[in-house]
Structure 1
Amino acid sequence: MRSLILDGGLATHLEALGADLSDELWSARLLLEDPALIRRVHADYFAAGAGVATTASYQASLPGFAARGLSAAEAERLMRSSVRLAAEARDEHGAGLVAASVGPYGAYLANGAEYTGAYDLDEDGLLEWHRPRWEILATSGADLLAIETIPSVAEGRALARLLRETPDVEAWVAYSCRDEGHLNDGTPIEEAAAVFADIPHVMAVGVNCTAPRHIPGLVERLRGGKPVVVYPNSGETWDAADRRWLGLADPVEYGEAAASWPAELIGGCCRTTPEHIRQIREHLAD
C-alpha cells in the first residue's frame, strides 16, 4: 500500500529554528511576527518527503487574535495568509497539497483541554465557535481542511454539521486519543469515526496527537471504513503545568513504527521533525 506522507510538527520545527512560541497564540503568533519562518518550515518538510503542508492556523481564531487587539478583518487576513505561505512553499517545491488546519476549541483555550475534551461549550456552542474560522478557511484556496486533534465526540459532531453545510470542501478528520480504543473524552473510536461515515467529502478519518504505541490498536478499529489518517506525536508527553515536554523519541524508531501502520495517510504531530518525516519516507520505500 502506498501512503500519502504528511508533514510533522510545525511548532516543533519553528522552535528548533529559534522561534519563541511561549504564549497562547502558539505558532499562529508567527503569522504576524515572522511569516517567512513559517514558509521555511513548510519548505523543510517538503524537502524531507512530505506531500502535504498543514497550515499555521491550528491555534488561530477570531477571539484569539482579538485578544491581541486585532480587528476581525486583520485576523481573517492572517488566517488566509497561513494558506498562502504553505502554497508558496508548495509551489517552490513543485508538488504537494495544502491542508488548512482546523484545530480544536481546546487549542484556543490554551489550558490543555484538547487533551481531555473537558469543555465549557456543548455541541451547539462548539458549532458556533468554529463557524467564523471555518468560513474563512473553507474559502481560503487550500486543497483541503485538516480537522485535527479533536478530543471529544461532541466537537466531532459540531464539525460534521459544518462539513455537511459545505459539500464542496474536502477534509480529513483526526481525533486525539488517550489509549488504543478511546478518544480523550472516553468515546470509543468506532463511535467517533461513525459521525463522518456518511459524508462523502471526508477523505479520511483517524487520529493525531496520540502516543505512537496506541496507533496499531486504533488503526485496527478504524479499518473497514474510510481511508485512515494517522499522525501521532513523538511519544513524549506534555506537562501542561510546567509547559514542557518530557521524554525522548528517536526518528529512526518512529519511521520503523510508521512503516507498520496500515494507513493511507501517515505523518507526525507534536515533537516530530523533518527528520521524522524523512525516516517515514525511507521506511515506507523499503
Structure 2
Amino acid sequence: MIDLATALAQRPVVLDGGLGTLLEARGNDVTSALWSARVLRDEPDEVRAAHAEFAAAGAEVVITASYQLGYGGAIPDAEVEALLRRSVSVAREAADVVVAASVGPVGALRADGSEYTGAYGLTLDELREAHRRRLHVVAESGADVLAVETIPSLLEVEALALELDGLGVPAFVSVSADSTGFAPGGSRAEALRVAASVSSVLAVGVNCCAPGSVLSALGEAPGIPLLAYPNTGERWDAATRTWHGGAAALADDAPSWVAAGARLVGGCCRSTPADVAAIAAAVG
C-alpha cells in the first residue's frame, strides 16, 4: 500500500469509480434511499468484491460504502456506528490499497437531491452538529484517510472544516462542482480555499459533476494537490431516481486534469472498473 501523502507529492494517484454503479452491475438492488449502504448492511461480501474489482483495475485508493451512512438518516442511529466501521473493514479486506472513509453531505442522508443544492435550511452550528458524531467514528475506524465528498455549499464546507480542524486525521475534501449551492460568484473558490486551510487536508477538488466542469473548478483551487473524480456525464433525476443522457470517456480528459494539478484522479457515479483501468493507463 502506498503512503498517500508521499505519493501525492510525486505523481498522480488513481481513485476508484462508482461503487453503487458496480454493485448494481453485479446484480444488487441500490434503488432505495440507502444506495450502496443497503448492500453494506445486508450483503457485505458484495461490497468487498466490488472494492477488489476496482483495485484489480488499477485503483490505488478505494472509497468506502459509507456515503449515505450517518446519524439521523434512514438507518437507525443504533446501527450506524457498526456499519461505519464495517465499511472500512470490508474495504481493508478487499485489497492492499489506501482506504478512504466516505463522509457525504447532509443531503446524502436525506436522499432528496439536496446534495446538489445545499438547501437544507440549517445554520453553521447545526451543520457542524450534523457531521460531528460521524466524523469522530470514522476518524477512529482505522481508515487511512477521510473522503469528505460531494459537498454542495460553502456553508457546509465551512462547517466540515471547523470539525476536521484538530481531528488529527488526514482527509481530502471534494465539492459538488455543479451544485446550485455555489451559484453566488466566488463561493466555490472560497469553499476550496477554506477546505485547503485545514492542516490535515491533503487535497481538495471536485467530484459528482459533469466532466466538462472539472477544469474550471480546478482553476479556482489553491496551490495544494488537487483531485478530480466526476460522473461520466449522465444526469441524475432525484425524483425518479434514474439516470439520463450519454456517457463520456473519463480517461480522455484525465491527462488535462493532471496538467491542471490533479493528483487524485478517478470516477464517480456511473464509472466502472473499465473506466478506472483506462484512467490508470492515461495518467500512469
State if a TM-score over 0.5 links the two structures.
Answer: yes
2:229–2:266 Cα contact (<8 Å) kept: yes
Aligned 1:187-226 pairs, distance under 5 A = 188=186, 189-222=188-221, 224-226=222-224
Paired residue type of 1:82: S
1:149–1:209 Cα contact (<8 Å) kept: yes
Say which is worse superposed, 141-150 or 211-220, in terms of deviation: 211-220
2:251–2:275 Cα contact (<8 Å) kept: yes
Q: Tell me the residue number matched to 2:7.
A: none
Which whole-Å deviations, capped at 9, do the CAs of 1:11-46 have from their partners, x for residues lacking one?
010011111112111111112110000000100000
Q: Tell me the residue number matched to 1:173.
A: 173
Note the C-alpha offset of 1:185: 4.9
**Distance in 1 of aligned mates of 2:229 and 2:196:** 20
Which segments of 5 or more consecutive residues in structure 1 lack a partner in the other structure?
none
Which whole-Å deviations, capped at 9, do the CAs of 1:201-228 have from their partners, x for residues lacking one?
1000101001001111112222x52210
User: Is 1:52 aligned with 2:50?
Assistant: no
- Match of 1:141, SS? coil
Note the C-alpha offset of 1:200: 1.6
**Distance in 1 of aligned mates of 2:60 and 2:181:** 27
Cα 1:269/1:178, change in 2 over 3 Å: same
Note the C-alpha offset of 1:187: 5.5
Paired residue type of 1:134: L
Q: Tell me the residue number matched to 1:147.
A: 148
Which whole-Å deviations, capped at 9, do the CAs of 1:168-198 have from their partners, x for residues lacking one?
200000000228xx85454522211121233
Paired residue type of 1:261: W
Q: Tell me the residue number matched to 1:255.
A: 251
**Distance in 2 of aligned mates of 1:49 and 1:83:** 19
- Match of 2:33, SS? coil
Note the C-alpha offset of 1:121: 1.1
Note the C-alpha offset of 1:241: 2.0
Paired residue type of 2:136: E
**Distance in 1 of aligned mates of 2:210 and 2:216:** 11
Paired residue type of 1:234: T
2:119–2:181 Cα contact (<8 Å) kept: no
Paired residue type of 2:87: S
Paired residue type of 2:97: G
**Distance in 2 of aligned mates of 1:130 and 1:71:** 13
**Distance in 2 of aligned mates of 1:197 and 1:53:** 22
**Distance in 2 of aligned mates of 1:108 and 1:71:** 12
2:58–2:277 Cα contact (<8 Å) kept: yes
Aligned 1:12-27 pairs, distance under 5 A = 12-27=21-36
- Match of 2:202, SS? strand
**Distance in 1 of aligned mates of 2:32 and 2:166:** 33
Q: Tell me the residue number matched to 2:110.
A: 109
- Match of 1:63, SS? coil
User: Is 1:89 aligned with 2:94?
Assistant: yes
Say which is worse superposed, 256-265 or 148-157, in terms of deviation: 256-265
Q: Tell me the residue number matched to 1:100.
A: 101
Within the candidate set 221, 225, 228, 2:226 is matched to: 228
Paired residue type of 2:263: E
**Distance in 1 of aligned mates of 2:33 and 2:121:** 18
Note the C-alpha offset of 1:98: 0.2
**Distance in 2 of aligned mates of 1:266 and 1:58:** 19
Q: How many pairs align?
A: 271
